Amino acid sequence: MGLINLLLKDPLSFLVLSVLLLYSVIFHELAHGWVAYRMGDATAKWLGRLTLNPIKHLDPIGSLMLLIVGFGWAKPVPVNLANIPVSSQRKGLILVSAAGITANIIIAFIALLLLRLLSPEPGSMIYQIINLLAYINIMLAAFNLIPIPPLDGSKILMGFTPESFNRILYQIEPFGFFIVIGLLYVGALNPLINFFQAIILAVIKVILFL
């Protein structure tokens, strides 16, 4: 269901969901830029993208897609691996690409930890908000692990695979979002997303109960 339908049916839920989604995506993108900056690439900093200001991160088409079909994206943080020492570029590609996913997993972990510590009533608003925050971030992490360019999973994969294979992924990248949207539409990616979600949730639960 797109957010427009939710807005018409329940404006308060629309507002809460929009804020949680927006800042979950912003922290995802901030993590990419911050790790790149720490590794020597200040491109995101120069362009003013290391900020919580949502205007800097909104993508017009991605935002429209989110409103209409419930699936969208933010403007990717620019990263220039050429600014990272050559000896560390593969490592940089892996760490920068994994940073956004890691940020979402950390947010989900904190949310589930809060649920455990606060033990709110399952039907209460605070329970629903925190639980929704955890779900959104687990979903974002799982979705971005898909190894189809330009999603982060493909960039992580490219950090380990030979250049001959990476060139194929680079050729696919301009059409990547259309491929992903098509596969989502027919449900072909659902088993993979569910698999990644299950793994992420299992890891979080193991850490919570250590």
Span 90-111, pLDDT tens digits: 999 999 999 999 999 999 999 9
pLDDT at 63: 72
- Per-residue pLDDT band for 185 (boundaries 50, 70, 90) equals confident
Angle between helices 125-144 and 190-208 (to 10 degrees): 120
Number of independent structural domains in the chain:
1
pLDDT recorded at residue 181: 85
Please report where in the chains the tokens 């900056």 appear, as a residue: 37
- CB 42: neighbour CB atoms within 10 A? 13
Choose, from 29, 121, 163, 173, the residue flagged as catalytic. 29
**Known catalytic residue: 29?**
yes
From residue 169, alpha-carbon distances to 66, 142, 176 in Å are: 26, 20, 9
Using alpha carbons, select from 116, 145, 144 the residue that is nearest to residue 131. 116
Q: What integer pLDDT is reported at residue 202 of this predicted model?
A: 96
Q: Give Rg (Cα) of the chain.
A: 18
Query: In this structure, are residues 178 and 61 in contact, taking their beta carbons and an 8 Å threshold?
Result: no
pTM as predicted = 0.91
Question: What percent of the chain clears pLDDT 70, i.e. is strictly above it?
Answer: 91
Per-residue pLDDT, 86: 87
**Domain residue limits at 183:** 3-208
Residue 17 — very low, low, confident or very high, per pLDDT cuts 50/70/90?
confident
pLDDT per residue as tens digits for the range 61-73: 777 766 665 566 7
Across the chain, which distance is largest between two alpha carbons, in Å?
54
